[in-house]
Structure 1
């Protein structure tokens, strides 16, 4: 039987878009609306299956502030997949995706798989109609950059959170089965030879 596989995924995007809350929701099915800024990098792990194959997903939640970008950049090379996140109620966070993409191009491995997430979609249906980025704008961004997945998500309700990570992990697993990573990329990690990192993450950002 094929040994377990470890996928490393990092969450990137502006501060306050909800990266920590998405991580918490995915790991524990919970939500805490208290804003707590991530300092540096935090991570959590989750066991999933694709087909009957055991997969361990290690998710790194990175700080979005400019003064922590040097720390975030040091993790790009180790990532098999990236979740690029913005807030659908904050057009600036969407516009700044271009800057994050430049960092990914400069520091991540060639051909790294990227999933796009428009978070805080629960707020877009509020009485004040505070949505600033449409679904179509996000979808066009996905097509323009050939992202492997795109979902509008809500850490509060759980909308599309599992679907986001499952779709990205399926893409990673297919790559692992067929051709592995690009020639310049670190191989996927076999759990039979990899230490099991302790679970650690902050509760929660916006």
Structure 2
């Protein structure tokens, strides 16, 4: 019989809104982040086009792998799915595959569509990875998650760093 257990996860989010003035600061956070989330606006081609530079930064500063496994979780999020789409879904999905993102999801921060689901999925993957690295991966799928997220920021950013703390 599998035992279910609850894991409390604290998400610490650094939202730089993709602003160039934060670029040098965010590079220092890449090395300690458990997850890097790139968020683009599905109704804005320039927002999507800027993802390539952010991907290069991730590979340069956080791209190290251990036994073929990247230590940082890469998440691509298409936001503003409540607006008229400029970026076709299949294009974004292909970009996520080509750039080896671990998770891709579309959200609407305005309507709160998939936002909570996104953070629960990120937390779940972080917990599974943590348990696998500690040799306890067999219970990861049964874990209930309690997320403590004091930074419920709904801005439309282009880049965020996420650090999961295991309490």
TM-score by length of 1: 0.58
Flag the 1:113–1:97 CA change in 2: closer, same or farther, 3 A: same
Residues 1:58 and 2:12 are matched in the alignment: yes
Show the counterpart of 2:129.
175
In the TM superposition, what is the alpha-carbon distance from 1:145 to its structure 2 partner? 2.1
| Maintained 8 Å contact 1:77/1:107 | yes
Change (3 A) 1:100 1:135: same
Q: CA RMSD in A?
A: 2.3
Counterpart for residue 75 of structure 1: 29
TM-score (norm 2): 0.71
Unaligned runs of 5+ in 1: 1-49, 125-130, 181-198
Query: Deviations for 1:19-70, whole angstroms, at most 9, x for unmatched residues?
Result: xxxxxxxxxxxxxxxxxxxxxxxxxxxxxxx951111111111242222211
Give the Cα–Cα distance (whole angstroms) in 1 for the partners of residues 62 and 128 of structure 2.
20
Could you list the runs of 4 or more consecutive aligned residues of structure 1 that deviate by over 2 angstroms after TM superposition? 199-206
CA distance in 1, matches of 2:83, 2:115: 15
Output the CA distance in 2 between the equivalents of 1:88 and 1:156: 13
Distance 1:51 1:118, change over 3 A: farther
Residues paired across the two proteins, number: 133
Which ranges of structure 2 fall in alignment gaps of 5 or more residues? 65-69, 135-149, 158-167
- Conserved 8 A contact 2:36-2:74: yes
